[in-house]
Structure 1
Amino acid sequence: MRRRQFLSSGAALLSVSLAGCGHPSVVLDMNDATADDIADEVSMATEPGSEEHAVVTSARENGSATRTGRYELFDHTTTVRVNDTFYSVSETRLRSSEVTVYEVLLDFNPEETTPELGEIEYDDLPEVDRDRLGSILSEEPRSNHDGYDVGVGYGSAEEVGNDSVFVPERQYDVLVHDGNRYRVAVDSRDATEAEYRYEVTEIAADVDTFADQIREQYLFALTDLSDAERTVVEGAIDGGYFEDGDAFQAVIERIRQHEGLNEDDFYGTWLLEYEDVEYITYAEW
């Protein structure tokens, strides 16, 4: 994770570098940009076995692919990396419908542990239930408040299949794990499910080629700086610059004259060159 990612989120990590201060009102953060860094900044890398990877490889091999889901896969970027090849992905919503989705609720400290429907040991659960609940129970959860403590999304009945003892019909209301007794409930709600079509176009066969394409479109040189502006930039390179002022705003104005990799109203990311070194530059103003 580069500095800019946690700076923009205002996360607690920032306190490590700023000795406990809150999120600064302005930020200029510059990190050396390798070809891989540039590629990571403007594309999504898919992991083998992921839904994104399966959709892109299927569309590549078959001309297109379809998927049914309750969310878009590529709502943040349409440039996807599979191994070292880069593709432009189109995601078209074809049709939608309503579907019932289920959530299994667990109460870690129930007042009443006598079952009404029945009780079951975790080890006796079907695999579909163990897979969904195992990570929650392995954390030895504890709670001091009343009611159900956590909800585990199961998806639709079609996604779950016929093996679950909780979804869509709850067969037990007490779950026993390592001697602990948990109350189990099931909640359901209506959700919109859509069918999507995917098509892909290869845009670069390797990382270097892709990075060169990005450089051609976005890279610019930051030159002719005053001494005060140079101080701002060199501070940004050496851990980040967080002080507002005329010099800071002058540097920001220079940067914002160029097209950014990502831009919003009050922050953005650019690819720039300063003294023959390329930097991925994050700014808040």
Structure 2
Amino acid sequence: MERKALAALCLLALVALAGCSATGSVSMETADDAEIAEAASRPAVVDSPAPDERRVVREAIENGSGTATATGPPVKRGLPLAYGDRYYEIDWNVTGTGPGTAFAVGVDLNGTAPADETVDFNELSERDRQLLGNLLTAMSERESRLRPGPEIAIPEEYTMAETNESVLLSGEYSAVRHNGTVYPFVLEERREVTLTRYRYTVSGVADSTSAYAQQLRDEHLFRLSGLSEAERSVVNEAIDGVYYAEDTDDESFRSLMDQFSAESAIEADSYDGTWLVRYDGEVYTADLSYGGFNQSERPVTG
């Protein structure tokens, strides 16, 4: 989540300036329905010039199930997935294995290549076009960089059938012509792998953002109350910012951590977590990092 990433970046900055890392931290932001739902979900569609690895999720949502072939599950179990205004749990089972090829293709946005080593985009295999199509369209709209060589490298895995049909992997060409522009490419890290076939299914969690946010409030919202002045100081610094506990002697941070540990987290592991908190009449999402405390002192609640 963006808030957790921001806190992590701030923590890295603190390390660079102070020469030592904070033992723990807490940050809090006010949250409406959309922000609560965002804190407890993952996007089902990722906007990226690279091929959408979550295509299988859309297939499962729209068709009842979806399939993918890869060395590992392309979408892991975890927080519900947001698709439109609806939210879904995702699951998968293994249906078989088979040989394949793993590789990375690097694309040069401003290079040149001999004409006899250039293939037209429409002559690529269907899988090749899927791999490069969105990338080249998005990249061609950006200003070319001046440094030589590939600017972008995309990891990919092909089944043996896709490998045999692939023009990119044939070794006959070193560039592709797309919409009148030639893009040299380089294949790297090619190796044979065993691919697993996954069948994905989804189940509905909520039909709207407001309904999902209400579920989360019902299941996870707790009240921070009865705080000492020192604890309130920690919370007030955390609101729209970050409070850092410099060592395990920070009793105010520890006592707050104990309150969090007694409550149900939206998501938590042995190092950090996200909670839904009511404080002084406002609802907040709270990101708590406690990796520097002893294992027995870390709140891990699901």
TM-score (norm 1): 0.74
Question: Counterpart in 2 of 1:237?
Answer: 239
Match of 1:40 among 21, 38, 44: 38
* CA distance in structure 1 between the partners assigned to 2:15 and 2:102 by the alignment: 45
Structure with larger Rg: 1
Contact kept, 8 Å, 2:15 with 2:21, in 1: the verdict is no
- 2:203 alignment partner in structure 1: 201
Deviations 1:126-173 (A, max 9, x none): 4738635566676645558xx9886444542655785x64x2312234
> How big is the shift at 1:76?
4.7
Deviates more, 1:207-216 or 1:181-190: 181-190
Distance in 1, Cα, partners of 2:121 & 2:86: 42
CA contact under 8 A between 1:118 and 1:174: conserved in structure 2? no
Compute the displacement of 1:75 (Å): 1.0
1:57 CA displacement = 1.7
Residue in 1 aligned with 2:3? 3
Q: Indicate conservation of the 8 Å contact 1:80/1:87, yes or no.
A: yes
What runs of 5+ residues in structure 2 fail to find an aligned partner? 47-51, 291-302
Question: For residues 134 and 203 of structure 1, what CA distance do their matches in structure 2 show?
Answer: 35
Q: Secondary structure at the match of 1:194?
A: strand
Give SS of 1:192's match: strand
TM-aligned CA distance change 1:11 to 1:189, over 3 Å: farther
Conservation of the 8 A alpha-carbon contact between 1:222 and 1:272:
yes
Residues 76 and 40 from structure 1, CA distance in 2 versus in 1: closer, same or farther, beyond 3 angstroms? farther
Q: Cα distance, 1:200 vs. partner? A: 2.5
Q: Secondary structure at the match of 1:193?
A: strand
Matched, 1:92 2:107: no
Tell me if structure 2 keeps the 8 A contact 1:74–1:91: no
Q: Deviations over 1:157-192 (max 9, x none)?
A: 655785x64x23122347799xx9997553421233
Map 1:164-203 to 2 at 5 A.
Answer: 165=167, 167-173=168-174, 185-187=186-188, 188-203=190-205
- After superposition, the CA RMSD in angstroms is 3.9
Provide Cα deviations, 1:236-273, integer angstroms capped at 9, x if missing partner: 11422124422122212221221211112222111111
Matched AA of 1:47: V
Alignment correspondent of 1:272: 277
Q: Is the 8 A contact 2:60 2:201 kept in 1?
A: no
Report whether the alignment pairs 1:252 with 2:253. Answer: no
Contact 1:87 1:200 in 2 (8 A): yes
Residues 118, 182 of structure 2: 8 Å contact kept:
no
SS of 2:253's equivalent in the other structure is helix
Counting aligned pairs with the same residue, the percent is: 23
Give how far 1:2 is off. 3.8
- 1:69 aligns to what? 69
Q: Report if the CA contact (8 A) 1:103-1:186 is conserved.
A: yes
Q: Which secondary structure state, in structure 2, belongs to the residue aligned with residue 248 of structure 1?
A: helix
The normalised TM-score by structure 2 is 0.70
SS of residue in 1 equivalent to 2:34? helix
**Contact between 2:81 and 2:90, CA under 8 Å: does it hold in 1?**
yes
Alignment length, in residue pairs? 265
Whether the aligned pair in 1 keeps the contact of 2:69 and 2:197 (CA below 8 Å) is yes
Alignment check: 8 A CA contact 1:118 1:171 kept: no
